[in-house]
Every structure is written in structure tokens, then in C-alpha cells.
Structure 1
């Protein structure tokens, strides 16, 4: 079944939909941003260790999109190209506690 699955459950390996705020640099990947979910659909994102980080498969993708789902390999994280994660890091560095960066994940 090609229909994407979304979940907020710990151990689901799925991404969650809803509003997020960038809360810091991730520690698992050199260039990554930790996310905090702001909705019931993603409130466990920080506990689950959900990040925005790059993935080789996305970087090698020869299309015009910056993001492609890569299934269970992402473990719920938002995987982007190396260039895109560099842009995300720049945006995060320009943010402040009083003006955080919000992200909205939706499907269709």
C-alpha cells in the first residue's frame, strides 16, 4: 500500500502531522534540528527525537523536490537534501526565543 501512514506513537517509525517549532540542534546528526510538536497529532515529537536532517537518498534524488518520504529509514524524522538542511540550519540560526521558527507538516 503506497498510502503514507502518520502516527504520534513512540516506536511507530512514522512522521506526525501538524505544527512544529524548531527547538535546537540535534545531536544524532551533525546538521539537524530538533522539533517540538504543538498539536495533539504530534505532541510526542520531542520525546520521539523527531528531527529535520539530510539523507543520502534525498540528496541523490534527481527531481525538483526538496523532500521525499523514504519510509521506515527516516524513523519519523523529516529527511531533506543536504542543501535543504543547510538552509534550515541558517533559518534556525536567524531565529530567536521570541521569534521561533514554526513548521507545518500536512498531507495533501
Structure 2
């Protein structure tokens, strides 16, 4: 009889310990899920092929040999995705926040923060991919009142000039990353924050005919 009672006690003890382990494991998994939901994703995209092609393109087309700008619209808009690449140092010297076009979504919203629609069509309010040459410095009604004319060099962005696609600043664009929130979307222009534009303006006033390449990785 005592032996039977002893075995029953062991079974009950084992069951309780197993239940506690399950409950503890579940709690840890829940904690991990909560952390994963708020953690900023690591941007591990290898742009070396783009850098090499851009350098060759600049040499072949008599563009600025010091640096170029790469904008990756495949990156979440709440993260920095406007990169100034220094050919001399073979490294990114600056990175900034930048907007993309809202398309059929509401202007200044963030609905397409993860996957913007791309188009070269008139009145599409979309961003266009491809290589651009940054030309003359002009006056803007936005931001710090400075813009730069963009000339599309490919079929995918051939309407840039007639669509009035320019590089400018906008008060709505944040300077720092806001992920998982997005950056306000405009009508297709690559717009940066006022503070960022002040730095970019100094760069472009010194270096002429700079290549801007907009991609979607």
C-alpha cells in the first residue's frame, strides 16, 4: 500500500513540474515575440554591385567622379535609405531619410511605407526608378526653398523633367529614423528633411553633375 502511494506521489510531482516547465517556456516565447515585434530590422543589403556600376557609369558619361547618391525604395520608409557614396573612400559618407510617391494613396500618408508603387506615368504621383543626373539648383516652395532639377536618363524615368520631379526638402520628413512608422509620402519627388537638405545642398553646390540612382531592392 505504501509503495502504491509513493508511486502516485511521484507521478503527481512529475506532472506538476512538467506543467511549470511548459508555462515558463510559453512565457519566454511570448516575451521573444513582443521583442521581435518592436525590433528594427537589420539592413544587410549588399550594394557593392551598384557602387561598382555607378562608378563605371559616371566615368563613361562624364559625371562627377567623387560621389553619387543611391536611394533604395525597397527599404522601409521609416529607415534611412538615401545614401551618399564616396568613390574616393569606397564607403557611404552620409545617409538620410527620404520620401517616395503616394500613388493612389492619400498625400502625406504612409500607407505604402513597406512597398511603394513605381511609375513613370504623368499624374501617377509615384516615384520612378533609374539613373538621374542632378542638374541646376533652383528655388522651391517647400522646405528650405531649395531644389535640384533631376534629368531621367532611362526609359523608366524619362518623364522626370516634365513631371517636375526634383530633389527638395519638406518639413514633414523626419531627420531620424521612425521605424516601424513610415515617412510621409508626396507626389513622386525624393524629399528629405530640412536639416538633411542643408547638408546635401552644400555637397551639390560643390560637386556638379552628380549621379542619383533610385532602385527598389
Q: TM-score, normalised by structure 2?
A: 0.42
Report the secondary structure of 2:172's partner residue.
helix
- Name the Cα RMSD after superposition: 2.2
1:49 equivalent in structure 2 = 164
Give the C-alpha shift of residue 83 in structure 1.
1.6
CA distance in 1: counterparts of 2:183 and 2:119, whole angstroms: 14
2:24 equivalent in structure 1 = none
CA distance in 1: counterparts of 2:119 and 2:214, whole angstroms: 12
Please show how residues 56-75 of structure 1 align to structure 2 within 5 Å: 56-59=171-174, 62-63=176-177, 69-71=183-185, 74-75=186-187
1:92 equivalent in structure 2 = 204
2:73 equivalent in structure 1 = none
Work out which of the residue numbers 124, 127, 131 in structure 2 matches 1:19: 131
In terms of Rg, which structure is larger? 2
Checking the alignment, whether the CA contact within 8 Å between 2:140 and 2:168 is kept in structure 1 is no
| Structure 2 gaps, min length 5 | 1-110
CA distance in 1: counterparts of 2:215 and 2:183, whole angstroms: 13
Structure 2 CA distance for partners of 1:26 and 1:9, relative to 1, 3 Å: farther
- Deviation track 1:5-31 (CA, whole Å, cap 9, x = no partner) reads 011111111110111111112333321
1:32 equivalent in structure 2 = 147
Greater relative contact order (Cα < 8 A, sep 6+): 1
Checking the alignment, whether the CA contact within 8 Å between 1:54 and 1:81 is kept in structure 2 is yes
Q: TM-score, normalised by structure 1?
A: 0.79
1:106 equivalent in structure 2 = 215
| Structure 1 gaps, min length 5 | none
CA distance in 1: counterparts of 2:119 and 2:183, whole angstroms: 14
4+ residue stretches of structure 1 with deviation over 4 A? none
Equivalent residues, number: 100
Checking the alignment, whether the CA contact within 8 Å between 1:52 and 1:85 is kept in structure 2 is no
Structure 2 CA distance for partners of 1:69 and 1:5, relative to 1, 3 Å: farther
